[in-house]
Structure 1
Amino acid sequence: MLALMAAGSVFFPGLFLLSKQSLKHIMGWSDGDAAIVSTRFVSSLQAVLASSAGLVISSSCSDVLQDRHWLTDTYILFAAPYFAFDIYAMFLCYLHKLQVKGHEGQEGGVGWKRAAVAGYLRREKLLVLHHVFMVAFCCPASLLWRKGSGDFFQGSLFLAELSTPFVCLSKVLIQFQKEHTLLHRVNGLLLLLTFFFCRVLLFPYLYFSYSRSSSVPLYRVPLVAPWQCILGASLLWPLQLYWFTLICRGALRATGGRSHRTPPPPE
């Protein structure tokens, strides 16, 4: 258990530092640009790993209530440190944006650092809360409270990460002022589709799967399913709906010819 978490604690920050230094030396990028792209790269790789694990797990469970797969707990333990790392990495990106906007004059002072932290928490409060919730609630719920069942549902939740690489690519294209390219438009369409199917429709699908496998009417699932699952879904699903609404608004603005920035769904 501790070995897997230690491996994740080394893997994600280590990959970030390696990517950052490589971009600075090979591409000649600034520290800030390299940090932002490296953060997106690590987030995308974690999403690919999580989605791959989710596909293997969910496709291997014929009994969606009782079947188990060794990869479930293994990847939860390995990926848990990623969410803490991503909070810090996103803060580094925020600092770079402040410097680009000309707010670096007081850099290094205690007051400036406090103001930067406060500004970051205000701007990215939903993302930070999401990541804290994943570590503080979802990880214990997945590892301890499931009591050896529900690997299919956990694997299906991993598939929610499938939209993250498209979110990251969108942000990188905006960073390098490529909002009006064909690649950005195609990526935006893929982002909408993957976010809708893998995040918005995910929770109704899980409710339906539980209803079908347990022979319980769909409307009774919230009454008989484990309370931890119902609580997690009730907190996470509205957040996905909110982010999807913002993404749709950004897409509509883009089709109207105006520049837009995709809001930050969880990475």
Structure 2
Amino acid sequence: MIYDSYAMYLCDWYRARDQDHAHSLTLRSFLSRNRLMITHHAVILFVLVPVAQLKQQHTLLYKVNGVLTLATFLCCRILLFPFMYWSYGHQQGLSLLQVPFHIPFFCNVANAFLIAPQIYWFSLLCRKALRLFDTPQAKKDG
């Protein structure tokens, strides 16, 4: 999370430098413009990671967070691609199934490369969630 935040700052700093902005990108201006993303990273780093390290996986907070993570990952990282194709098709008067044949081939290839790791990571999250919620009966009775 620290690396992600630092990388975001560097990207903004280089972008501001390349655009010859009269004002320099200060840490304060970066934090104020990216308040939500920085808060997201801070909560994960300072709340959710310690909960996981303290073996608190059995708590309701951990389980609710897991379900919300699955739902937001599915909506924002996987369903984004069919929505993008549907939206383009809607603008062009095409059905969802016609869109891949009416856009440049490299766009489909690029989207395939982008969605493949998302699907893989989502499958890992689902496996983790199944292990969390699927405790064997022997352990429950033991």
Answer whether TM exceeds 0.5 for this pair: yes
Count of aligned positions: 114
How large is the RMSD of aligned CA atoms in angstroms?
A: 3.7
State how far apart, in whole Å, the 2-side matches of 1:167 and 1:220 are.
Answer: 40
Alignment pair present for 1:193 and 2:74: no
Q: TM-score, normalised by structure 1?
A: 0.35
Query: What's 1:235 paired with?
Result: 113
SS of the aligned residue for 1:218 comes to coil
CA 1:46–1:232: 2 relative to 1, 3 Å: farther
Larger radius of gyration, structure 1 or 2?
2
Q: TM-score, normalised by structure 2?
A: 0.60
Q: Which of 20, 27, 45 is the aligned partner of 2:37?
A: 45
The one-letter code sitting in structure 2 at the alignment partner of 1:4 is: A
Percentage of matched positions with identical amino acids: 34
Q: Does the 8 A contact of 2:86 with 2:95 survive in 1? A: no
- Pick 1 or 2: higher relative contact order, CA cutoff 8 A, min separation 6: 1
Query: What's 1:249 paired with?
Result: 127
Q: Does the 8 A contact of 1:203 with 1:237 survive in 2? A: yes
State how far apart, in whole Å, the 1-side matches of 2:42 and 2:68 are.
Answer: 10
CA shift for structure 1 position 185:
0.7
Ranges in structure 2 where 5+ consecutive residues have no aligned partner: 1-11, 19-23, 137-142
Q: Does the 8 A contact of 1:207 with 1:221 survive in 2? A: yes
State how far apart, in whole Å, the 2-side matches of 1:196 and 1:180 are.
Answer: 23
Query: What's 1:180 paired with?
Result: 58
Q: Does the 8 A contact of 2:85 with 2:96 survive in 1? A: yes
Q: Does the 8 A contact of 1:166 with 1:188 survive in 2? A: no
Q: Does the 8 A contact of 2:56 with 2:62 survive in 1? A: yes
CA 1:240–1:45: 2 relative to 1, 3 Å: same
CA shift for structure 1 position 193:
0.9
Q: Does the 8 A contact of 1:195 with 1:244 survive in 2? A: yes
Q: Does the 8 A contact of 2:66 with 2:129 survive in 1? A: yes
CA shift for structure 1 position 205:
0.8
Equivalent residues in 2 for 1:12-161 (5 A)? 45-46=37-38
CA 1:3–1:237: 2 relative to 1, 3 Å: closer
The one-letter code sitting in structure 1 at the alignment partner of 2:122 is: F
CA shift for structure 1 position 203:
0.4
Query: What's 1:211 paired with?
Result: 89
CA 1:189–1:5: 2 relative to 1, 3 Å: farther
